[in-house]
Every structure is written in structure tokens, then in C-alpha cells.
Amino acid sequence: MSRLLRIGEEVQAALAEGRPVVALESTVIAHGLPWPDSLDATQEMLEAVRSGGAVPAVVGVTAGRLVVGLEAGDIERFAKHGRQVIKVSRRDLARALTEGCDGATTVASTMIAAAMAGIRIFATGGIGGVHRSAEGQGDSFDVSADLYELARTPVCVVSSGAKSILDLRRTLEVMESLGTPVVGYGTDSFPTFYSRDAALPVTMRVDSPEQAASLLSAQWELGLGGVLLANPVPESMALPTQTVEAWLEEALAAAQAEKVAGPQVTPFLLSHLHRRSEGQTLKANRALLIDNARLAAQVATCCSQQG
């Protein structure tokens, strides 16, 4: 095991005993939700994993180590002081570990840590993808490292599709090109984070944790990479795609008018959606995070039982 990796005691014991473990990223804690919703939602995710029969393992960088199983104090610090916690993707891991700073892991870096620790199931909100500014913005072509990590790292990511602020059609096209299975859980359409009524295709569909576990077993026996298990936002919290798209168009126009660019675009758009929806997007975000954690635990338990 790498000297740069530290596995929490509870997580280490569960892995040694062959019990199911679910990885959770820390970017959603530090940057995804405002305080104190960030901490409250994280606690609910942890409980959802436990109620599903698995052990939660929050991943993050702290004190020069990549930690799989952050302690409660670390989680609260990340949630409360998110602006002081850098976002860490694949390219940033070595720097964050060398500098010894707090780092919130993205989907890509959480997958790396999970694979290093021997964890196969990871729950999050939505993956990154192809940004809407990928064309027509000079030489910019912003494609998230999450998509490439999914293609290379044998971890199942349970999410509500990709973030709706992205170009979702192109995101699916890139995943197809990279050979990543996009599996709908109880749906034939790709869920679009806040919504579940978009007419976008998935590779295949499963309707139970047992079916998902069987698919994952075959995927990894073949020596292939990751799988995106796309679980729609709970129906009671879902927002119509057309409504979200209208809000996004407003947000994108405002971002352009205010010359918002680079890493500031995503938080700007999310903040606009929160205001425009009168808090509905935040409620949907929390609901899908908790539901994905619960499903991930169920799938991890089935994987453990199937051997």
C-alpha cells in the first residue's frame, strides 16, 4: 500500500472482513452545497450507506495523505471551511499531497483512491462531463477528467447522471467513445441530475441491486474499466427538464454578461439556479445524494454476497 494512502480503521476492518464499503467524495461536502446543508446532507448520506448494510468511506486529502475514511472532525472542517479546501482531481493529487493542504476529491480522484483501497462502489450526486462552452469559445474545450477516469478505473459510480449545467448529449457521446457503460437504474433514459424526463439514451437498464451486481461482476472479470450506474432523482423532487433548461439559459446569459469564466462558472450557474428555483434545486440535490448513497450500499452488499 502506498505511503501516501491512509485507510480509516473502520473502513480497513470492513475491507479485511470482506464487508461492503461505499466510497463518498468530499468535493460535494466542501464545494457542492452551502453550509450547514453540506454537513447535514453528508450525515444523511453516511446514515443511508449504513442503513443499506455497508460502511461509508469519505475520501479526501489532509496532512499529506490521501485518506479513505475521513474522520468526523475532518468532514466538519471541510463542510464549514469549504473555500479554504482546494478541489483535487487526478492532475492535482501529487501537488495536494506534497503541499500538505486540505483537498476535496472530485469523482476522478475519489475513484483513484477507492481503487487503491480495494473499494468498487462509489456514490455521488452527478459526474462532470463536456461543458456547454466546449465549442464557440475560442480554443476552449472543457471536458471533465471524470469521463476519462470512468474509462480506465474499475469502480462503479452511482450518480444521478451528469450535472444538468453540462452539454449532456456530448457527455454521453464521449462516454460512448471511451467505452464506458451507462446503465440506467430503473430507467431507459439518462437522468439529468435535477430531472428525469430527458429523452437521452442509456447503454442498458437494470432494475435491482442484484442485476447491477451481476453486471459489475462481468465487467470486472473481463478486466474492463468503470461503470456509471445512473439513478434518477427521486420522483417527488424531480424538476421538469424544460424548466431547468430555461433557468440555465438565463444563468448562462448572466454569466456571459458579467464575464464570469473558468472555474467560477459552475458555482455561478448553481447559485443562479438556486435563487431562480426558490431553493428547489438544493432540495433535489440533497434528495438525490442520499438516494444514491442508499442504492450504492445495496449494490455493494449484493457484490459482497455474490463474491
**Binding-site residue positions:** 87, 107, 142, 144-146
Cell of 299: 449494490
* Residues tagged in the binding site annotation for Mn(2+): 142
80 alpha-carbon distance from chain centroid: 20
Catalytic residue (one of 9, 10, 17, 25): 25
Beta strands in 147-248 (DSSP E): 156-159, 182-185, 204-206, 227-230
Catalytic residue (one of 76, 99, 135, 163): 163
Q: What CA–CA distance (Å, rounded) separates 226 from 270? A: 27
Q: What CA–CA distance (Å, rounded) separates 246 from 179? A: 32
- Phi and psi, residue 198, nearest 5°: -80, 145
Residue 283 appears among annotated catalytic residues: no
* Residues tagged in the binding site annotation for substrate: 87, 107, 144-146
Residue 119, CA atoms < 13 Å, CB-side half-sphere? 34
> Does residue 304 contact residue 52 with C-beta atoms inside 8 Å?
no
> Can you say whether the dihedral through the CA atoms of 236, 212, 59, 89 is positive or negative?
negative
Q: Which helix (H) or strand (E) holds 121?
A: strand 121-123
Residue 25 appears among annotated catalytic residues: yes
Going by C-alpha positions, the residue among 196, 188, 130 that lies closest to residue 160 is: 196
| Amino acid letter, residue 19 | R
Q: Which residue in the block uniquely carries the three cell numbers 442509456? A: 202
Q: Show which residues are catalytic.
A: 25, 163
